[in-house]
Structure formats: C-alpha cells, structure tokens
Amino acid sequence: MEMGVLREKMVFLFTILLIMQRGDGQLVENFYSSTCPNVESIVNRVVSTKFSQTFITIPATLRLFFHDCFIEGCDASVLIQSPNGDAEKDAPDNLSLAGDGFDTVVQAKQAVEAQCPGVVSCADILAIAARDVVVLAGGAPFSVELGRRDGLVSRASSVKGNLPEPTFNLDELNQMFAKHGLSQIDMIALSGAHTLGFSHCDRLANRIYSFSSSSPVDPSLDPAYAQQLMQSCPRNVDPQIAINMDPVTPRTFDNMYYQNLVAGKGLFTSDQVLFTDASSQPTVNDFARNPLDFNAAFATAMRKLGRIYLVPSKVISNLLLVSFPSSSFPFIRHNQANGPSFNVELGCRDGLNSDRSHVPENIPDPPFDLTQLNPNFARKNLTQFNIIASQEHRLWAYLIAPTLPIAFK
C-alpha cells in the first residue's frame, strides 16, 4: 500500500473517531412525532391541572428547569434522589426549590408513561412544562426543542459555584452565563423570569441592613421599596419568610420586572445591577418599554438554555445496529463496492459525558510517526497491526472493527 493512500485512510479513520467521540445531540421540535405525538398536550393538561391547585407550580417549575440546565446540562439530574442525601437536589442552593416543581414533572411523567411507555425523557418533560407555565402565567408561547436524554449522574458537589448568586455584579453574571453559551442579552432576558415567584428574607438582608459601612441600605434601592422590604423582612425574622420577586405583578409573566429595575425595585443586587450598569441598561430600558422585544428575547434564550450540554444522542450508537456498509452514512457507503464484511459486537452503552478538553490528547495528529502512534493506540488496546493493516482490503476489518467497542465504552 502506498504511503499516500494509507495516510488518506488514516485521516479518514481519525475523522470518524472524532465524530464518534463528540457525542453531539440534535434537538428538534417534532422529535416524538412518530413515537409519542401527543406528548406536549399530555404534559400541558397535567401542568394546567397542577396550576389550578396552586400558583406555586408556575415559578417552581420554571426555576427547576433553570437549576437543572446550569448543573450538568438539561438532563433532569436535579430530579434524582440519593439515599445518602448527596444528589443535586440536596445541595444548599437547591434546598429552596419548591416541591411543587418536582411534583409537576413527576405527575406529567406518569401521564406520559401511561400513553407512551419508555419513550419520553424526564428532561424533555421538564422543558415542555417550563414553557407551559410561562404561557399559563400570561407569557407568549414558543416552541420547545426535544430529544434530550436523562442523566444518570447527580452530585450535590456539582452545584456550588455554578448558579448565579444574588450578590453578583454584571461581569460575574456574564461570565457564568457565557460558560453555557448564553450572551448578555440572553442573561438579561432569562432574568425576566424573576417577574414570577418569590425569594426569602435571608437572600436580601444585606441590601437593607448591612450593605456597606457607609450605607446600611443599598443606595440603588428605591427608598420606599427599601422600607417595604424592611417591613416584610424585619431584623432577626425567620430567614425563610417569603417575599415576592416582583412587588407589582408577582403572578403575571410580563415585562414589569424591567420596569421595576428602572424604578429601583430590583430585589437582588444581581437584578438591580442590570439597570445600574451602563452596558446592560439599554437592554433593560428596551425590555421595559417593549414587551414584544422581551418575549422574543426570552423565547430565544429559553431555547438556547435548553441546549446546554446535551447528553450524547443515540444517533451514533445506532451505527452499531446496522449492517456495514450503511446507506445512512456516506463515509461508510464509500467502501460499499469492495469492502469486506465482518461481524460487529453489540451491547455498547452511550456515554453520558462529553468534554472537548479530552480530545486533543486522544486523537493522533497527522504528523505522528510510528513511535507516537503506537502508545496512542496502545492505550486503547490496539496493536501496531491494527494501526497498519497488512493489506488495503483488510483495513476496515482489522482497524475499524476493534475500535468500535472502545469508542462507546
């Protein structure tokens, strides 16, 4: 075999392996069109019923979705219970997640399972429910992309430092959201969810009693609003006493949150800073004046939020279930005319972690010589014989086949 042909084959292989390693999943709006076409209406009925029982369903479900997506991605891992009390939901920052949010998803999952057993993930049900509660509270409807898989890992230790704090400034907010591919406009739009629900006195006490040595009360607070907060949260009050996030329309999803910021009525420092910082103030002013702009930005941001750290899809693993060559994969069909047949071992499981930082050290570079290729492949239990097939027509049988179990282990 000529060296040029072998190099072409090797680069071809490396490209395939890189595709396998990536594990990128694709979300689509009609993901369950053939397997559970009524899933959204089923979830909507459950959410509507739950909402008729308690308004807390609205903010609790929306907040649950956000907390799930920011920790390990939108994989419903926040729902997992641990007998040792060390799952995500057990982390201090998640202890305030209202039980009605969890109950909404559990009831929706039960209803969906009754119609489509073993088809729809809890992660997708939570995403649908989050959209539904926005609409039930008066927000504009938007389409939800589906196709997520449920995570199997949930650690309380993963939560600390990965959720926005009420004391964050604009730079800290932007940095945290940027880690998830969300822009400053996305961050400001998602913050608009604070037009619903409530927080607790211990989360804002520093703004009204100990902001700084020169000013116990945060000067960015409207004085009348500061007095209102003091009446609701007097000194030494039970820290779990609840207070509305939006003092004007706390049960309506609207743009009042931004009007409150303009008036100095943001509950958290991380809320009010969106108006006091000159770089974000124009967006706040726009959303305060134009509810249509806010609704559009919120829908866009929610869809982007729902794409965070997708668990690897089943697309690549399905490759193991078809006979080579497959007309579904052009890079395999290329070898259809003269390629040999070989048996494929099945039973591999899809990965649940995908970190691009792992790729450079594990994919051979084109300039590699044999002394560099051998240890790289040896770590995957592949021999030099696997690297360099003795005959061109045996390349797939000796090189690709032993690699497949590794890629999906």
Hey, what domains does the chain have and what are their CATH numbers? 3-25+314-407 (no CATH), 26-162 (1.10.520.10), 164-305 (1.10.420.10)
DSSP letter string, 301-365: HHHHHTTTTPPP-STTGGGGGSPSS-TT-HHHHTTTTTPPP----------S---GGGSTTTS--
Annotated binding-site residue? 246: yes
Per-residue pLDDT band for 355 (boundaries 50, 70, 90) equals low
Higher-confidence residue of 320 and 174: namely 174
Annotated binding-site residue? 183: no
Give the pLDDT confidence score for residue 325 in this predicted structure: 36
pLDDT surpassing 50 at residue 318: no
Higher-confidence residue of 18 and 98: namely 98
The predicted model gives 283-309 an average pLDDT of 96
- Candidate from 91-100, 130-139, 259-268 with smallest mean pLDDT: 91-100
Annotated binding-site residue? 121: no
DSSP letter string, 35-97: T-TTHHHHHHHHHHHHHHH-TTHHHHHHHHHHHHHHTTSSSSGGG---TTS-SGGGSGGGTTS
Give the pLDDT confidence score for residue 382 in this predicted structure: 75
Q: If we measure between CA atoms, which residue out of 288, 308, 301 comes closest to residue 246? A: 288
Cβ pair 136, 48 in contact under 8 A: yes
For 258-269, write each residue's pLDDT tens digit. Answer: 999 999 999 999
The predicted model gives 363-373 an average pLDDT of 72
Average confidence score pLDDT of the chain:
81
Q: If we measure between CA atoms, which residue out of 232, 213, 55, 41 comes closest to residue 129? A: 41
The predicted model gives 383-394 an average pLDDT of 55
- Residue carrying the six token digits 């899933």: 39
Annotated binding-site residue? 164: yes
pLDDT surpassing 80 at residue 332: no
Distance of CA 285 to the CA centre of its chain: 28
**Which candidate in 67, 200, 334, 358 is catalytic?**
67
The predicted model gives 134-146 an average pLDDT of 96
Q: If we measure between CA atoms, which residue out of 390, 376, 259, 394 comes closest to residue 335? A: 394
Annotated binding-site residue? 72: no
pLDDT surpassing 90 at residue 53: yes
Q: What is the DSSP letter of 287?
A: H
The predicted model gives 180-191 an average pLDDT of 97
Annotated active-site residue 67? The verdict is: yes
Annotated binding-site residue? 75: yes
The predicted model gives 149-161 an average pLDDT of 93
- Candidate from 102-111, 144-153, 323-332 with smallest mean pLDDT: 323-332
Annotated binding-site residue? 276: no
The predicted model gives 337-357 an average pLDDT of 56
3-state class percentages of the chain: helix first, strand second, coil last, to nearest 5: 50, 0, 45
Look at strands 198-200 and 242-244 and give their pairing. antiparallel
pLDDT surpassing 70 at residue 377: yes
For 30-45, write each residue's pLDDT tens digit. Answer: 999 999 999 999 999 9
Give the pLDDT confidence score for residue 55 in this predicted structure: 95
The predicted model gives 124-141 an average pLDDT of 97
For 197-220, write each residue's pLDDT tens digit. Answer: 899 898 888 899 999 989 999 999
Give the pLDDT confidence score for residue 172 in this predicted structure: 97
For 269-291, write each residue's pLDDT tens digit. Answer: 999 999 999 999 999 999 999 99
Annotated binding-site residue? 249: yes
pLDDT surpassing 70 at residue 90: yes
Give the pLDDT confidence score for residue 26 in this predicted structure: 80
